[in-house]
Amino acid sequence: MQIVEHFITQIMEQFGTTRGLAVAYLIVSALIVIMAIVCAIMSLLVWIRYSRANKHGITNQMSGIDTCRFALDRAGLTHVKVRKSGFIRELFFGNYYNIFTKTIYLRSIFGKIDNKQSVTSTALALQKAGIAKLCEEGDRKAVIRNRLSIIAIFGPLLFIPVVLIGFLVDFYVLKTDGGVASYIGLGVGGLLLFIGLIVTFLNIPVEKQGNEMALDMARDYGLANEEELQIMKKVFDAYIMQYICNFILEVLRVIEWVLRIVIQSNAKKD
């Protein structure tokens, strides 16, 4: 309790805020740390299931790229291209559908599935084909999610630098404490968080629908047997749990941002 009280006192002194806001800020900050750890654990679970299924051969004996091309052609999406990801693209995006270039990119380095004949390669190839089908048919959630995906990936990473720049400009350039630049930084950072929140929220229904479409295609096209379908489902379920955890984390980050605005506003008035 003494440690908690110490942190509360530090927050009150640093931001010049009330005890109630200091307690709320401390609780939210602690929850963010906890959820960040949970998200890391879920990412590890996804990678374990992804890797295990990638070592499990597939009865259709088709590579990820061939499976994806086959599914797209059957869906009438002959204009959608399938490519292997380069290093930078794979590092940040992994397996994904680029709605602007009408191209599906499949991992070719880490968790390689582009030319792999495995349960994972079939599952993810069909899932991305399903996402492409949703986007090309004008599914609103899928289109918005994919168009904003770049901002959503880099937004959370830029939040702290953007807010910090605002405070530094105020302190060193404008010679003020918590002025216009700080509010601009918080505003831009909040916008990035809000976009990330929207995309993270949309990830859940869009990816879930893509998963269901992938299982249906694997079953209807005879691309997987029942055992392989069950393995695919476990991989997909792990992804959905990860998206849910990421969404909770983004909600907490937005709450923290709102508290920062309130605390700074109160300090400014004082």
pLDDT in tens, 159-179: 667 767 777 776 666 666 656
Looking at the structure of the chain, the number of domains it has is 1
Q: Is 90 exceeded by the pLDDT of residue 1? A: no
2 or 44: which leads in pLDDT: 44
Q: Cα dist. 102→27, 43, 96, 182 in Å?
A: 43, 27, 11, 39
**Which pair of structure tokens corresponds to residue 120?**
């994972």
pLDDT number for residue 258:
83
Within a 10 A sphere around the Cβ of 8, how many other Cβ atoms? 15
pLDDT confidence bin for 125, thresholds 50/70/90: very high
pLDDT class of 91 with cuts at 50, 70, 90: confident
Least confidently predicted of 91-95, 184-188, 214-218: 184-188
Question: pLDDT tens for residues 58-80?
Answer: 999 999 999 999 999 999 999 99
Radius of gyration of the chain (CA): 22
**pLDDT tops 90 at residue 120:** yes
Helix, strand, or coil (residue 76): coil
Is it the case that residue 106 has pLDDT exceeding 80?
Answer: yes
pLDDT of residue 156: 66
Cα–Cα distance for residue pair 55/143, rounded to 1 Å: 33
Considering only residues 95 and 158, tell me which one the structure prediction assigns the higher pLDDT. 95
Is 11's pLDDT higher than 70?
A: no
| Residue 152 confidence class, pLDDT cut points 50, 70, 90 | confident
Q: Give residue 3's pLDDT.
A: 67
Contact 127, 211 (CB under 8 A): yes
Q: Between residues 152 and 233, which one has the greater pLDDT?
A: 233
User: How does pLDDT run across 200-258, given as a tens digit for each residue?
Assistant: 889 999 999 999 999 999 999 999 999 999 999 999 999 999 999 999 998 898 888 88
Q: Which domain holds residue 70?
A: 2-269
Percent of the chain having pLDDT more than 90? 56
pLDDT in tens, 18-61: 777 778 888 898 999 999 999 999 999 999 999 999 999 999 99
When pLDDT is cut at 50, 70 and 90, the band that residue 186 belongs to is: confident
**Residue labelled with tokens 């009438």:** 76
DSSP 109: S
Evaluated on CA atoms 61, 108, 145, 98, the torsion sign reads negative
Q: Is the pLDDT of residue 270 over 60?
A: no
The C-alpha angle with vertex 198 and arms to 192 and 200, in degrees rounded to 5, equals 100
| pTM for this entry | 0.81
What mean pLDDT, rounded, does the chain reach? 86
**Assigned token pair, 216:** 């249906």
Q: How far is CA 34 from the centre of its chain?
A: 17
